[in-house]
Structure 1
């Protein structure tokens, strides 16, 4: 299967950036344009404004996933003033395509640096403090109730499910089908399917869906540190948000963290009253490894696949 290239590769000149800013109603002149860190999907630029005005962020979506522009705008409206950490303020969502040729949003540029690189420079007490704050942020997302289980689209939950067991059964089936179509081992797919069927009762413990960021890793969190404190200053990238089990979101957040970071995250997150929390986190990690394998396989990133297979095998053996 041929690799898929999604992320837009655009050169945004000063005149185009100025026309974009003019549509936002912000009264400022473009001083500089720089490419910001971003994932595989969207192209993200910082628009520096003259006269000391706060900078803006221009996020451009690929044509094949233009609907994510409307989704992100919807998510930013949903979380406004409901999190302990700032989310970007939306200035403009433009689907006209007459300036850039693709859908885009313009947002406020949050203060701080990405937590991923920053935390590597922090002493252990500050690193623990940062990830306790990440845990509290995750809990705040999960205080936002949703109307049904499922992935969130531009106008609400897509293919809404009334219960978590149905949602997760469908999700595993869909990803196992994709796994097989992309060359995944049939024996592994069969063992995962049998394991999910045996453990599917774990999904029933979640009675009501909540908002899940679904990508709350240190690259999507901003922070600022001084000599003796560290403070989270922002959370970004709501493209992957879903409505589901909070433990599903916790499992994905923990996936990116070291043992010490996981401990601090869980301390900040607070008590979990569910039974069999560990087993539930493990089966959600299995789903995430499967999803990530399918994601990398479509880009032909073969060097990423073997560790994910090893993780899935380990999770199956541990049960």
Structure 2
């Protein structure tokens, strides 16, 4: 896609933030499938973010608006202010969402510089926010758009359907039936863990350090925002927690202890359940990278799946 111009940004801001004077437009990090831009204004408090979607992805725009509104309706305020947007027939010829720029920086940008007590406190705040999101119940399990697609009655049905879809893509592409069958055997032997879920809830489904914003205060970093709800779904809270563990925590016990402390509980059988979801998420990630042609990512993910299965 062509880069967002200052003139286009100024036109967007004219209605959304009357009086704002646009100085520049800067491409932001992230956004593998979509473009994200910061609109820099003469008054930094008026800075905004534009998220641009693919031409046929207007549903993603509607989804993000809907999820942000649902979160706010449930007293979750650490969200960007929605300023406007348009579908494919609008200003850009592509769907886009205009949002206020949240103050601060991502946790990912500062995590390596934080002393251990502050790092633990950041994760305590992240755990509390995730727990708040998980109080928003859903009627069934499944991927969200403006509704739940192909709703499933149980956690097991949803996750096994997901595994079937993404592992079949892996098999069709690689012909690696040995890993395909080993993965299905691994999940089948641990299927009872799915029943530990108390019921479907709203999941952010991409809750990691790059999507959580903090501001520095005299008392340390304080969460100031949550972004990128494009992957939201209805499902088992463990799906969120395990992704946070996989993407941002790893073997860092300080982060994990802080997350669980803020979340309010250590989930039953968390280690086995995390590994179970990590296996399925890894196939999803493999399928995603395969779909966008990121060939260099595929073999390492397949190797991670082998290691996970071998570890039991």
Q: Distance in 2 between matches of 1:194 and 1:205?
A: 19
The secondary structure found in structure 2 opposite 1:159 is strand
The 5 A counterparts of 1:49-68 are: 49-51=41-43, 53-68=45-60
Q: How does 1:123-162 map to 2 (within 5 A)?
A: 123-153=115-145, 155-162=146-153
Give ranges in structure 1 of 5+ residues lacking alignment: 1-8
Distance 1:308 1:164, change over 3 A: same
Q: CA deviation at 1:75?
A: 0.7
Structure 2 gaps, min length 5 = none
1:29 aligns with 21
Shift of 1:49: 2.6
1:283 to 273, 276, 279: 276
Measured against aligned partners, the alpha-carbon deviations of 1:79-119 in whole angstroms (never above 9, x if no partner) come to: 11646661111111311523101000111110001110111
| 1:268 equivalent in structure 2 | 262
Q: TM-score, normalised by structure 1?
A: 0.90
Of 296, 301, 304, the match for 1:308: 301
The answer to whether the 8 Å contact 2:58/2:88 transfers is no
Distance 2:217 2:192 in 1: 47
Q: Are the aligned partners of 1:126 and 1:228 in contact in 2 as well (CA < 8 Å)?
A: no
Query: Aligned residues, how many?
Result: 309
Counterpart of 2:34? 42
Question: How far apart are the structure 2 equivalents of 1:313 and 1:245?
Answer: 24
Q: Distance in 2 between matches of 1:201 and 1:26?
A: 56
Task: Look up the match of 1:3.
Answer: none
Distance in 2 separating the partners of 1:194 and 1:239: 31
Q: 1:231 to 1:25 in 2, by over 3 A?
A: closer
Q: Secondary structure at the match of 2:234?
A: strand
Return the alpha-carbon distance in structure 2 between the equivalents of residues 245 and 42 of structure 1: 27
Residue 70 of structure 1 aligns with which residue? 62
Sort the Cα spacing of 1:52 and 1:168 in 2 relative to 1 into closer, same or farther, 3 A: closer
Relative to structure 2, which stretch is displaced further, 278-287 or 233-242? 278-287
Tell me how far apart the structure 1 counterparts of residues 3 and 281 of structure 2 sit (CA, whole Å): 34
Cα deviations across residues 131-187 of structure 1 (Å, max 9, x unaligned)?
Answer: 11111111111111112110001x211111121111111111001111112215111
Structure 2 partner of 1:213: 204
Structure-2 change in CA distance of 1:305 and 1:83 (3 Å): farther
Moved more, 61-70 or 113-122: 61-70
Of 226, 229, 234 in structure 2, the residue corresponding to residue 235 of structure 1 is 226
Name the CA shift for 1:296/1:273 in 2 (closer, same or farther; >3 Å): closer
